[in-house]
Amino acid sequence: MIKIYVVMKKFLNIGASAMVVGLFFTSCNDNEDYRTIESIDKVKIDSVKIVNDTMDVFTVQSIKTYSTYSSQCEGFYAYDYIHNNNLTRTVTAYKYITNGPCAQGMFSGASQINFSPQQVGTYTLKFWSGDNTWITKTIVVE
């Protein structure tokens, strides 16, 4: 019984040593074909598409927003979704800006946010469209 324990212990030690040596010889690929995000900034929402302006409570509706980007080095990053009060929401979109060579020229990109109301009422959704302007949409929740 003791011999089996000693043999098993040696196998475990050899296995652990082999794993450490394997990790030592494995390196990360330093391929520079990827782009690094340099910064994040607000991006104006040009238009908003809401399919149903009436929906049921606790259901989910995808709302599409469209923004314009100045090059292929930019793209949608995230939304800032704020509950201003029970039935008002403000939505601001953010873009990423990467380094590296990119095709220049304006292009439009679509993103979506899922809206899932938790109570009955008329919701006001405000989407940031630049400076102090907002695209306002309402959804009646029954």
Tokens, residue 38: 């340099």
pLDDT of residue 56: 98
Contact indicator for 27, 6 with CB cutoff of 8 Å: no
Residue with the two structure tokens 């990053």: 77
Q: DSSP secondary structure string, 20-47?
A: HHHHHH--------S--EEEEEEE---E
> 82 Cβ partners below 8 Å, 6+ apart?
89, 90, 91, 92
Q: Look up the pTM and report it.
A: 0.74
Q: Average pLDDT, stretch 115-136?
A: 96
Residue with the two structure tokens 């090059």: 71
> What structural domains does the chain harbor?
37-141 (2.60.40)
pLDDT of residue 126: 97
Contact indicator for 130, 42 with CB cutoff of 8 Å: no
**Per-residue pLDDT tens over the stretch 88-111:** 999 999 999 998 788 888 999 999
pLDDT of residue 23: 47
Interatomic CA distance for residues 136 and 134, integer angstroms: 6
> 142 Cβ partners below 8 Å, 6+ apart?
54, 55, 56, 57, 120
Q: Average pLDDT, stretch 119-128?
A: 97
**Per-residue pLDDT tens over the stretch 12-68:** 555 555 554 454 555 555 555 567 889 999 999 999 999 999 999 999 999 999 999
Tokens, residue 61: 């509706």
Lowest mean pLDDT among 1-5, 103-107, 127-131, 132-136: 1-5
pLDDT of residue 102: 84
